Structure 1
């Protein structure tokens, strides 16, 4: 079946000018030609920054190791990957996503999903035929599943990278075809059928965070000329976190009025920003933003981070050594965020507040209880740094190179 699909595709199916690369046939390695010079890698990632930024971090590291390698990112045409990937300097081509709805046995999944999946796999088979990659890396999102299945059908080597402490259905299925499974946490290994394929690497964190701006530089960026003693950074996610935003509306003014030298950087999310901007009064100690493009400087400035518990945010908190209050989304698939938050509480002492517990008083008390206790903040910071896996990008890049060392 795989041979039928693959051999029946014609190069003219997708005009070359529609794709951001020039397909080249695989060159036979010789003594004068390094295999890495011809290395072609596809990344399948989409939906949220938690899927996209790990892929970009891995690609960045691969590019430093092998500047001549060719990359292609596959994602949805309307997702944030369509702008984030080109902005990071990598080629991007769109592919249809395959959204899995809950409950799993819904009418959509039973009757429509098979046809959507087949169409998306066929589209991805064409992309893979034209780019002719040596390896495909899937980091998640609805577009990742059909791209990785297409790789499995055509015999292309496959790596999947699971960011969360508990995996979803898609990666559970893909793990059956993957050559290697890169996981962020030791506890994730037990979730897979083939534990022998698992490599615990941590989550790849973007280079801008790993390079680490100074606290002074971060504070000057957001509050130039102010005498800043402490900074609380509130991350509502790229799209927003309604419960966190509502709680903060009733908290920020009291916190700022009762704590001289305290400043707040508050990312509301793009969708929530207009409403929050209309409700929040201007204050010199508050920076309200829909999205933080220079989030590396926000982390640098922070003494405390209040956030959802997405896997990548948790990894960034660990890598930057920040005390944190985590409010996991109850809507995350398979309860990922609650499990991530519980793990963070164990390894880094993060304060976890569920949405059922969240109100303005609970959030205010949690923030005040941490920023008033310097020894506690120092302990939380030390535990976070100790638990961080800062070489994830390098380890995954080296694994990719080792799997493609026999390029022919």
Structure 2
């Protein structure tokens, strides 16, 4: 079978979506890489993608099944990948239950006033600025501040984390040596934090997670460090891309922006449409076929890797007519941006809350907000997992008369 075009490393946002559209026009399942021992498949059709996310024949297989898992130092692998996202039941069930007990809706709901404060502080800093990179000035610092405050990470310890996170989240792009060095630094950072919380517990999520580790229903030390790494990275990376992609979508669809300004009560539904139309992830984390089976007219062999294309599935016009059109009045808004099934994103409610507050405040603060560069020049992240912009330069003042 001929290899399908690689949609991941596209030069512009439009090219990325065009590549996925072309793949969906060809069919729902595509061979994207082949070695002597296995094939790597990309699933782009919505129905097939949704089915894969709950198919017990597709397993995570633990940390060793992840990219570079076979090359990484075993101790470092265990300290970063012994978490629920890389696990299957019953380990996944136990880990998720323990985390859910600490990551409660009560904590999330109580964050709303503080999120609004952070948003207002960041936007006030932009009032006297003619133009700014919205990623650096707003979309990144908001979720980073929120997750660090939720976990209880001191402000002075947040400096290096952004670099480590960006390198760890997409190893295929970082390369092994760079990825391994960043993972080692990140684990060292997390272990220091855990030691602080053991010595001086506080009313924060990290202290609560440490208490789970040291309680009767225990996390192992590797499970604890892996969990904190996962919460740190997943707690901000996807929200950065959600905010940036949503803002880009609004600024390139002025009719939709005007509608949302005039009817702000549409914001919750609009966030769901942003997630569907241009979600923060290209694919779900890798799965491995535990047995041979048929999918979308092709044979997936035991041992093959399967990437579920969330971005492509959400724009599959055979499932949702007009899926390639942004429509904040759309209802319902079916999407897989946060996954589906047992691995559905635990932090989805927090991401939605941050997006509603951030986007509503952004368009309210800056009635003349617009792109400061041509839409086609906005750079996308060279990535396999994430779908985001490396920068989004915006102007905040009205055009000269």
- Same fold? TM cut 0.5: no
Larger Rg: 1
Structure with more helix by fraction: 2
Structure with more strand by fraction: 1
TM-score, structure 1 as length reference:
0.27
Higher relative contact order (CA 8 A, sep 6+): 2
